[in-house]
């Protein structure tokens, strides 16, 4: 898969310029001044991202409605005690989003080194969040609060694990960009990858805040 | 264009079997059933007319507009026609649903009278059981730990509870004609469904829920009750009967059952 | 995410890159098509076994015992085996045939072509979506081979029947768990496909291809993708919760105080079986529109082409597709009228269900309107589209009964329902696929299919399916319950056996006739006459490129669209069709 003209080649070096006449969808979007064709790719990537976010939203909406119904139905709901580390993890996640934004801003003004630093910080904080979640689950286990202990804990585990799985995907994207950044191969074609992974990350951030409210108010 | 007569013949055959009522509902045994059949007829007439007209129109255009050398008519549509047939369809469909509301309300919104005969229904894999409260009018306490199917205690009656001593348990449903009946339905395991064709009603029985179903049956007879929600490998065998008898016979039956 | 195109200057090399892990939407479309073809024959075989057993419940068949030593010991099919065949029949047909071929099969192949794109927006994702679907199928089929066999809870898998493991039946052990896993994997595959379809349609249309100039097929693929996107996410949630109930002792769907097989269940309480139904049907209803919308798009497209007329009311058709998509999310409760849910909500769902009948009716009127005043050519592809209209009318109208809770009081869980959904999904949608096959085969494979064989197959199948599924409505009215492996326990069913025997014979006949289709398909692939670029004188973009198309579709040239998709028989034009890419000087209304 590493031959020239292959996908990996396209990712690393950007897609080839389209022929001069015609062109997909015309102009617009995306940093960089090479080829109108890239505009369509950038737009399609954003569309794809928003579509993915819509699906993710539906998944968590389904879990939420199941939770609301289940809670209202029976009298066996006992609110699960939330380990305080969750609040720390939330702060870490917010910090990571901030770091990514600072990185993007740095890139806009061309400060590549600063971009690298902030993006790496964001990625590392993301990994730290996941570690913190694992710690939270461990603490709950140690306190004999398992997934089947009570419907409240069932939903906590389902929601937090589903979120963590999404975050794992997000961290992979951040990591990929990070590796490209340090290899100094972040061409203009990569701007889209940066923007997409950052927006996906912020979505997961917002989703986590929503889940925290759900846990503390309804859980 | 051979398709045109094929469509027309198939339409005619189907319409025939509806008109001839070759395979049909059994006669209803209560007022609800009569109202049901009227609503069914209304719907059948409306859909039947649409069915015949639409299939006829399809066959007609196939026949009339087959390629015979003439050019086609270049047209992107007709907004007025569009509006007319859209509104007509909407009114028709909405009308049908609104007309059926009373029937639905009669089954599910109205409360049964206070003197309705209460009967508990138990659905389990793969048999029905029915329980009557006996002369004291109270159902005895039950618990799963007392369940013993082979000893005739599917409900799990607690024999220490005096209220349950006169409870009557039966494998088939017996009810007096012309009197309101209130079924209180439970399942012991999975979802089942109580269905009697002649009553024109059915109801899922969901474990974890207590589901009421009220009705009245006016014509004496024995009617089959086949389980109507997939409940496992014995689903096809989960069948009992509902016997509607005169109120006098019903009282007699209760006495005889209590003596056993 | 990867670039939207493999280099415009280099075709993939090597067998694996070209035919196995291809990134080319055309190859992927064909892969999906053949996955669907395999699945439909598997699903059909299961249904033949079912129909055989229904009319011969005590029959002993030697090779049953060989295939299923436990579940058909002595050669007699047990009820649990029947139910597991039924479960897998429904599941395989709905997911691996109706959700794949019309959308991921034809859509993958022809969406980029019809909008003038070089490929889907995300070719790598596309390739992954196919192979994920393939894995889902493998997992699904594996349920047959584990201890206890395939699950028996129906394609709807209602808990507690599906939620407590082997206690409720042999296939409810590992079989049900594999089933849920397969569905979950399928959800992922579907999501990947939906992302591609939506991004491609929104962003990769060529110059001049305004949304309102897209062929109706593209509109249906777009709305279907949106339905899939939002619906499968909910199914995934439901499946995850169910598998947790089964494996780790949660109680999302399982209430307390249960006694199953003489065992009191102690590790579940408080869950709601109705919650599963709500989540499942919230997906399940959009799913049936996923199954039928692309077929509707193909029908519109073909009726216009073969009647040499524009689609009657293109805009209304678009609004109808959008309304069906939107309303499709609001009617799920009509599958639950008898479930014990709030009877007031039943009324609300009923009104919305009647409402969704309106855009469906509009489409039917418009199809007839398209044919009216036309110049109809009866090629096989067209026959199947005409058949689609007839079947859709029949199947759709029985929905008017079922959409009323008052009437559903009798019809729920009877063969009336089975007849209804088979007419629509099991036949109309299938006819959409046949139509698509005959229409697009020349483009996909560069050969023509045999028309004579095609027509014989069409007539025999059309009559055959009416003979199988129309009688189901009659036995339904007589109160025949569904999902019964054997009708001998209910006295009033005895009189219906002749009808069942008739349906079984019709099923054997119709199944046998499908051999003609297979012969036609494979013979034509090998020896069919060479296909020209545009055998049907059709107007959409796929007909402007060679049959089959080069790997980059438009050969590096980007099409420019100047006309709507159905400019047939334009007065004053030199030919009776104007390609979408013809110069603007050729007269047309848009």
> How do residues C5-34 score in pLDDT, each as one tens digit?
444 446 778 888 888 899 999 999 999 999
Residue A37: predicted pLDDT? 61
Query: What is the rounded CA–CA span in Å between residue A2 and residue A6?
Result: 6
Query: What is the rounded CA–CA span in Å between residue B41 and residue B43?
Result: 5
User: What parts of chain A have a pLDDT lower than 70?
Assistant: 1-38
> Which secondary structure element, helix H or strand E, spans residue B235, and what is its range?
none
- Chain-centre distance for alpha carbon A22: 35
The answer to whether B77 faces chain C, any CB pair under 8 Å, is: yes
- Alpha-carbon dihedral B135, B137, B143, B145, rounded to 10 degrees: 0
Residue C589: predicted pLDDT? 53
The answer to whether the complex's ipTM is over 0.85 is yes
Domain ranges of chain B: 3-65+78-108, 117-259
- Chain-centre distance for alpha carbon C537: 28
Contacts of C48 (CB under 8 A, 6+ apart): C507, C508, C511
Q: Which residues in chain C are contacts of A43 at CB distance < 8 A?
A: 202-203
CATH class of B117-259: mainly beta
Residue A38: predicted pLDDT? 66
> Which secondary structure element, helix H or strand E, spans residue A176, and what is its range?
helix A151-182
Contacts of A57 (CB under 8 A, 6+ apart): none
Length of chain A: 219
pTM: 0.94
Determine whether the interchain pair B108/C273 forms a contact, defined as Cβ–Cβ distance below 8 Å: no
Query: What is the rounded CA–CA span in Å between residue B175 and residue B121?
Result: 13
DSSP-derived letter for residue C342 is -
Query: What is the rounded CA–CA span in Å between residue C526 and residue C520?
Result: 10
Q: State the average pLDDT for chain B.
A: 95
In what order do the strands lie in the sheet containing B239-245? Answer: B173-176, B239-245, B221-226
Query: What is the rounded CA–CA span in Å between residue C30 and residue C18?
Result: 12
Cis peptide before B191 (omega within 30 of 0): no
- Residue among A7, A23, A70 whose CB faces C275 most closely: A70
DSSP-derived letter for residue B122 is E
Residue B119 β-bridge partners: B183
- Residue among C6, C250, C275 whose CB faces A154 most closely: C250
- C205: tokens are 């249309």
Is B45 exposed, middle or buried, given 0-12, 13-18 or 19+ CB atoms closer than 10 A? exposed
The backbone torsions φ and ψ at residue C195, rounded to the nearest 5 degrees and listed phi first, read -60, -45
Q: Which alpha helices (DSSP H) does C544-587 contain, by range?
A: none
Collapse the DSSP code of B128 into the 3-class scheme (helix H, G, I; strand E, B; otherwise coil) and give the result: strand
Collapse the DSSP code of B246 into the 3-class scheme (helix H, G, I; strand E, B; otherwise coil) and give the result: coil
The answer to whether C205 faces chain A, any CB pair under 8 Å, is: yes
Is B153 exposed, middle or buried, given 0-12, 13-18 or 19+ CB atoms closer than 10 A? middle
The answer to whether B3 faces chain C, any CB pair under 8 Å, is: yes
Buried (b) or exposed (e) across B208-234, using 16+ Cβ within 10 A?
bbebebbbbbeeeeebbbbbbbbbbbb
Name the minimum distance, in Å, from the CA of A146 to any CA of chain C.
10
Q: Which residues in chain C are contacts of A158 at CB distance < 8 A?
A: 240-241, 244
User: What parts of chain C have a pLDDT lower than 50?
Assistant: 1-9
- CB half-sphere exposure, C27, CA atoms < 13 A: 21
Query: What is the rounded CA–CA span in Å between residue C142 and residue C128?
Result: 21
Name the minimum distance, in Å, from the CA of C293 to any CA of chain B.
19
For chain A positions 98-127, those within 8 Å of chain C (CB to CB) are: none
- State the CB neighbour count (10 A cutoff) for residue C242: 28
Residue A25: predicted pLDDT? 34
Q: What is the distance in angstroms between the CA of the first residue and the CA of the last residue of chain B?
A: 72
Angle of CA points C26, C31, C37, to nearest 5°: 125
Name the minimum distance, in Å, from the CA of C97 to any CA of chain B.
24
Collapse the DSSP code of C334 into the 3-class scheme (helix H, G, I; strand E, B; otherwise coil) and give the result: helix
Determine whether the interchain pair A158/C205 forms a contact, defined as Cβ–Cβ distance below 8 Å: no
DSSP-derived letter for residue C106 is I
Q: Which residues in chain C are contacts of A26 at CB distance < 8 A?
A: 207
Query: What is the rounded CA–CA span in Å between residue C306 and residue C326?
Result: 30
Query: What is the rounded CA–CA span in Å between residue C141 and residue C153?
Result: 16
pLDDT tens digits, one per residue of C190-214: 999 999 999 999 999 999 999 999 9
Residue of chain C nearest B71, judged by CA positions: C375
Determine whether the interchain pair B61/C377 forms a contact, defined as Cβ–Cβ distance below 8 Å: no
Contacts of A39 (CB under 8 A, 6+ apart): A24, A25, A26, A27, A28, A29, A30
The answer to whether A34 faces chain C, any CB pair under 8 Å, is: no
Residue in the block written with tokens 């389209």: A18
Query: What is the rounded CA–CA span in Å between residue A151 and residue A142?
Result: 18
User: What parts of chain B have a pLDDT lower than 50?
Assistant: none
DSSP string, A28-93: --SSS-S-THHHHHHHHHHHHHHHHHHHHHHHHHHHHHHHHHHHHH-S---PPPPPTHHHHHHHHH
| Nearest alpha-carbon partner for C268 in A70, B135, B63, B13 | A70
Query: What is the rounded CA–CA span in Å between residue C235 and residue A90?
Result: 29
The answer to whether B90 faces chain C, any CB pair under 8 Å, is: yes
DSSP string, C265-331: E-S--S--HHHHHHHHHHHHHHHHHHHHHHHHHHHHHHHHHHHTS--TTHHHHHHHHHHHHHHTTS-
- C327: tokens are 């309303």
The full set of domains in chain C, from first to last, is: 25-271 (1.20.210.10), 287-528 (1.20.210.10)
Query: What is the rounded CA–CA span in Å between residue C530 and residue C461?
Result: 27
* Domain A50-218, CATH: 1.20.120.80
Query: What is the rounded CA–CA span in Å between residue C416 and residue C210?
Result: 43
The answer to whether A150 faces chain C, any CB pair under 8 Å, is: no
Judge whether C144 and C49 are in contact, CB under 8 Å. Answer: no
Judge whether A218 and A71 are in contact, CB under 8 Å. Answer: yes
Cis peptide before C548 (omega within 30 of 0): yes
Residue B189: predicted pLDDT? 96
- State the CB neighbour count (10 A cutoff) for residue C122: 24
The answer to whether C414 faces chain B, any CB pair under 8 Å, is: yes
Residue A23: predicted pLDDT? 33
pLDDT tens digits, one per residue of A112-129: 899 999 999 999 999 999
Judge whether B189 and B207 are in contact, CB under 8 Å. Answer: yes
Name the minimum distance, in Å, from the CA of B81 to any CA of chain C.
10
Query: What is the rounded CA–CA span in Å between residue A193 and residue B18?
Result: 63
Name the minimum distance, in Å, from the CA of A67 to any CA of chain C.
9
Residue in the block written with tokens 């909500």: C345
| Nearest alpha-carbon partner for C402 in C362, C332, C353 | C353
pLDDT tens digits, one per residue of B196-221: 999 999 999 999 999 999 999 999 99
Collapse the DSSP code of B179 into the 3-class scheme (helix H, G, I; strand E, B; otherwise coil) and give the result: coil
């Amino acid at each position: 898969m590493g031959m020239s003209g292959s996908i990996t080649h396209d990712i690393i070096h950007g897609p080839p310029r389209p022929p001069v006449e015609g062109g997909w969808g015309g102009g617009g979007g995306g940093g960089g001044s090479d080829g109108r064709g890239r505009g369509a790719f950038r737009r399609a990537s954003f569309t794809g991202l928003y579509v993915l976010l819509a699906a993710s939203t539906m998944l968590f909406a389904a879990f939420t409605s199941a939770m609301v119904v289940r809670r209202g139905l029976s009298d066996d709901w006992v609110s699960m005690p939330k380990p305080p580390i969750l609040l720390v993890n939330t702060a870490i996640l917010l910090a990571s989003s901030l770091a990514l934004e600072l990185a993007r801003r740095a890139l806009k003004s061309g400060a590549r080194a600063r971009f690298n630093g902030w993006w790496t910080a964001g990625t590392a904080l993301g990994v730290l969040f996941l570690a913190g979640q694992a710690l939270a689950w461990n603490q709950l286990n140690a306190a004999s609060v398992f997934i089947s202990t009570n419907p409240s804990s069932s939903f906590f585990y389902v929601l937090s694990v589903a979120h963590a799985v999404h975050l794992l995907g997000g961290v992979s994207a951040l990591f990929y960009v990070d590796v490209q950044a340090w290899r100094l191969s972040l061409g203009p074609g990569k701007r889209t990858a940066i923007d997409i992974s950052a927006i996906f990350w912020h979505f997961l951030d917002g989703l986590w805040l929503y889940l925290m409210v759900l846990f503390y108010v309804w859980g | 264009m051979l398709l045109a007569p094929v469509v027309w013949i198939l339409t005619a055959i189907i319409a025939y079997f509806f008109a001839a009522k070759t395979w049909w509902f059994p006669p209803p045994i209560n007022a609800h059933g009569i109202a049901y059949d009227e609503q069914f007829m209304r719907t059948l007439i409306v859909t039947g007319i649409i069915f015949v007209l639409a299939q006829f129109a399809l066959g007609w255009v196939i026949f009339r507009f087959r390629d015979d050398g003439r050019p086609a008519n270049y047209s992107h549509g007709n907004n007025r026609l569009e509006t007319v047939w859209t509104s007509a369809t909407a009114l028709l469909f909405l009308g049908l649903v609104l007309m059926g509301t009373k029937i639905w309300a009669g089954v599910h919104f109205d409360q049964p009278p206070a003197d309705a005969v209460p009967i508990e229904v138990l659905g389990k894999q793969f048999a029905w059981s029915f329980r009557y409260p006996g002369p004291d009018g109270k159902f005895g306490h039950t618990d799963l730990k007392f369940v013993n199917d082979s000893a005739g205690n599917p409900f799990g009656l607690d024999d220490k509870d005096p209220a349950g001593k006169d409870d009557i348990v039966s494998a088939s449903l017996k009810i007096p004609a012309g009197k309101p009946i209130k079924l209180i339905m439970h399942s012991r395991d999975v979802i089942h469904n109580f269905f009697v064709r002649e009553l024109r009603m059915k109801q899922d029985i969901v474990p974890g829920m207590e589901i009421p179903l009220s009705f009245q049956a006016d014509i004496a007879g024995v009617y089959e009750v086949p389980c109507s929600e997939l409940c496992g490998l014995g689903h096809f065998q989960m069948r009992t009967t509902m016997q509607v008898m005169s109120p006098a016979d019903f009282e007699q039956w209760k006495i005889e059952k209590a003596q056993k | 995410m990867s670039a939207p195109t493999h280099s415009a200057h280099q075709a993939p090399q090597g067998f694996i890159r070209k035919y196995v892990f291809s990134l080319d939407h055309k190859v992927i479309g064909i892969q999906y098509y053949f996955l669907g073809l395999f699945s439909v024959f598997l699903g059909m075989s299961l249904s033949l076994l079912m129909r055989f057993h229904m009319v011969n419940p005590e029959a002993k068949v030697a090779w049953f015992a060989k295939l299923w030593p436990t579940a058909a010991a002595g050669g007699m099919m047990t009820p649990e085996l029947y139910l597991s065949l039924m479960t897998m029949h429904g599941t395989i047909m709905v997911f691996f045939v109706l959700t794949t071929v019309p959308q991921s099969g034809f859509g993958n192949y022809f969406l980029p072509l019809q909008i003038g794109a070089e490929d889907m927006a995300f070719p790598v994702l596309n390739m992954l979506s196919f192979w994920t679907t393939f894995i889902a199928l493998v997992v699904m089929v594996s349920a047959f081979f584990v201890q206890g066999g395939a699950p028996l809870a129906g394609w709807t898998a209602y808990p507690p029947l599906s939620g407590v493991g082997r206690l409720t039946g042999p296939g409810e052990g590992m079989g049900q768990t594999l089933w849920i896993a397969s569905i979950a994997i399928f959800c992922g595959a579907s999501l990947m496909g939906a992302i591609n379809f939506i991004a491609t349609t929104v962003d990769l249309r060529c110059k001049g291809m305004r949304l309102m100039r897209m062929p109706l097929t593209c509109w249906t693929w777009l709305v279907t993708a949106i339905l899939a996107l939002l619906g499968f996410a909910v199914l995934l949630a439901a499946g995850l919760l169910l598998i947790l109930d089964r494996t780790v002792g949660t109680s999302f769907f399982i209430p307390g105080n249960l006694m199953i097989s003489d065992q009191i269940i102690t590790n579940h309480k408080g869950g709601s079986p109705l919650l599963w139904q709500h989540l499942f049907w919230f997906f399940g209803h959009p799913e049936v529109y996923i199954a039928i919308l692309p077929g509707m798009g193909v029908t519109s497209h073909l009726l216009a082409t073969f009647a040499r007329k524009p689609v009657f009311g293109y805009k209304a058709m678009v609004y109808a597709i959008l309304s069906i998509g939107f309303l499709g999310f609001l009617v799920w409760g009509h599958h639950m009228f008898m479930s014990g849910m709030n009877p007031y909500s039943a009324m609300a769902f009923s009104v919305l269900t009647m409402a969704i009948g309106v855009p469906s009716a509009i489409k039917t009127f418009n199809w007839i309107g398209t044919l009216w005043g036309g110049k109809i050519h009866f090629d096989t592809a067209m026959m199947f589209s005409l058949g689609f209209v007839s079947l859709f009318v029949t199947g759709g109208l029985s929905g008017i009964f079922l959409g009323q809770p008052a009437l559903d009081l009798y019809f729920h869980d009877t063969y009336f329902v089975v007849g209804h959904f088979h007419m629509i999904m099991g036949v109309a949608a299938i006819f959409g696929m046949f139509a698509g096959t005959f229409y697009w085969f020349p483009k996909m494979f560069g050969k023509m299919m045999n028309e004579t064989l095609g027509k014989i197959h069409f007539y025999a199948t059309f009559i055959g399916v009416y003979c199988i599924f129309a009688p189901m409505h009659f036995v339904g009215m007589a109160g025949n319950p569904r999902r019964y492996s054997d009708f001998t326990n209910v006295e009033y069913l005895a009189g219906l056996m002749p009808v069942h025997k008739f349906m079984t014979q019709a099923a054997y006949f119709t199944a046998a006739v499908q051999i003609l289709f297979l012969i036609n398909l494979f013979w034509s692939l090998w020896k069919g006459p060479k296909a020209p670029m545009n055998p049907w004188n059709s107007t959409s973009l796929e007909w402007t490129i060679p049959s089959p198309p080069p790997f980059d579709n438009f050969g590096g040239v980007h099409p420019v669209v100047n006309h709507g998709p159905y400019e047939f028989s334009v007065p004053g034009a030199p030919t009776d069709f104007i390609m979408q890419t013809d110069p603007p000087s050729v007269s047309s209304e848009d």
